[in-house]
Amino acid sequence: MLTLILVVAVVSAALIVGAVWGLYGPLPTKVEGFMVALAGGALIVSVMLELIQPASDHLPLWLLSLSVATGAIAFTTADTVLEKKTEGSEGKGLLLAITFDGVPENLALGVALIGAGPMEVAALAGSILLSNLPEAAGGAQQMASNGMSKRRTLVLWTATAGLLAAAAVIGNLALQGVGQGPLAAIRAFAAGAVTASLATEVFPQAYKEDHKTTGIAVAIGLLTAFALTQLA
């Protein structure tokens, strides 16, 4: 329980720190893009080693593939609907989009913590933390530039941090008694959703803001996350 509280607190606090950074500190576009790309590279490793690989121990390949595909399709469908619903309201739409991206990530984090030691989920937690910082910073900065007060912007991001923390806690506590088969399917579903978010949200944003050094940042993130998994 202590591990759950500490990991969720740190990951969620990154949203609030990021929002404060975006509202009151300097945030060069290239720095934001580089950090987003680095986090994306780390998440690639985390998805494979902390979600798909453990799930493969309890699911046949066809069911594993189906679960991953279902997660990817579910995220893509919902993300498309969200994009249409929020068209023309960039600030609030961005907040909703980041919240929606964060739910599968934090749910996956909660699931990954079940039966795992602290170092075994270091890559996943670290990559989510790294992605939360620049996303919240960029989102808060954009919301303020669109006319929303800094106070209200910070309140909204704090509420978002609480929501995503709840997703991680629910993912951990509500699924504690679930059998290995269903838990593996949930891991695979979350892996598909996170992978889809990387392809449609994270990497396009990173390339748009950081351009050519995006590939370098992704490689650094990938190697950093892999190095963390070797400490387990």
Radius of gyration, alpha carbons of the chain: 17
User: Angle at CA 136, nearest 5°, toward 15 and 132?
Assistant: 55
pLDDT of residue 88: 54
Flag the least confident range among 108-112, 121-125, 152-156, 191-195.
121-125
Output phi, psi for 176, to 5 deg: -60, -40
Q: Which range marks the domain in which residue 156 is found? A: 2-229
Mean pLDDT of 199-226: 87
Measured CA distances, 50 to 17, 45, 61, 63, 136 (Å): 26, 8, 17, 18, 25
pLDDT in tens, 58-95: 999 999 999 999 999 988 888 888 777 766 555 555 56
Q: Is the pLDDT of residue 192 over 60?
A: yes
With 0.85 as the threshold, say if the pTM is over it.
no
pLDDT of residue 32: 80
pLDDT of residue 173: 82
pLDDT of residue 123: 65
pLDDT of residue 66: 97
Q: Is the pLDDT of residue 37 over 80?
A: yes
Closest Cα to residue 158, out of 7, 2, 18?
18
Closest Cα to residue 99, out of 56, 60, 136, 148?
136
- As for how many domains the chain has, the answer is 1
